[in-house]
C-alpha cells in the first residue's frame, strides 16, 4: 500500500460515499451526490485518481467496474487528524483541546465531563 496522502475536497466527497455504500459503481456514487450533480466522467476520473493513490480498488464485470475502499474511514481519519494537529497545533493534542475549549467557550463543568469521558474509555 502506498503512503497516505490528504484527499482533495472532491476526493473526500467520493470517499465518504464509498465508505457509506461499501462498494459502488460510478453511477451509484453520482446518485448519492448532492445537486447539482457532477458529470459521470468527472466522478469516474476522481475514482480512478483514488485508485492510483491506493484508496480504492475495483472488481471488473466486463467493461464495468465496481469500486470499493481499500482504506477504512477510521484509518484515514486518524491520519488526517494527526496531520492537522502537527500542522496547526505544533503536534500537541493539548493545544488542540485548548483551542476548541476556548472557541466553544467551555467552562470547568464541560471540561470535567470531557475528562471523565476520556477516563472511562476503554483502550
Residues 49 and 109 in one domain: no
Task: Give the position of cell 474509555.
Answer: 121
Tell me which residue of 54, 56, 52 sits closest to 29, measured CA to CA.
56
Residues 54 and 101 in one domain: no
With cut-offs at 50, 70 and 90, classify the pLDDT of residue 1: very low
Segment 2-19 shows an average pLDDT of 91
Residues 123 and 75 in one domain: no
Residues 97 and 84 in one domain: no
- Which sign, positive or negative, has the C-alpha torsion 35, 38, 44, 46? negative
Q: The domain containing residue 7 runs over which residues?
A: 1-88
Tell me the per-residue pLDDT of 39-59, one tens digit each, with 9 for 90 and over: 999 999 999 999 999 999 999
Number of structural domains (the chain) is: 2
Torsions phi, psi of 55, nearest 5? Answer: -90, -20
Residues 48 and 61 in one domain: yes
The pLDDT score that the predictor gives to residue 2 is: 52
Residue 21 near residue 32 (C-beta atoms within 8 A)? yes
2: domain CATH number is 1.10.10.10
Tell me the per-residue pLDDT of 81-106, one tens digit each, with 9 for 90 and over: 888 888 888 888 888 888 888 888 88
Residues 40 and 73 in one domain: yes
Amino acid at each position: 500500500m502506498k503512503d497516505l496522502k490528504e484527499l482533495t475536497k472532491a476526493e473526500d466527497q467520493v470517499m465518504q460515499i464509498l465508505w457509506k455504500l461499501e462498494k459502488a459503481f460510478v453511477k451509484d456514487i453520482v446518485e448519492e451526490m448532492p445537486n447539482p450533480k457532477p458529470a459521470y466522467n468527472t466522478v469516474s476520473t476522481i475514482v480512478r485518481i483514488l485508485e492510483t493513490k491506493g484508496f480504492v480498488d475495483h472488481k471488473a464485470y466486463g467493461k464495468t467496474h465496481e469500486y470499493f475502499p481499500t482504506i477504512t474511514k477510521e484509518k484515514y481519519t486518524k491520519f488526517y487528524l494527526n496531520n492537522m494537529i502537527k500542522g496547526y497545533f505544533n503536534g500537541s493534542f493539548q493545544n488542540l483541546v485548548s483551542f476548541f475549549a476556548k472557541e466553544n467557550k467551555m467552562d470547568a463543568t464541560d471540561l470535567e465531563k470531557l475528562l471523565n469521558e476520556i477516563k472511562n474509555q476503554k483502550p
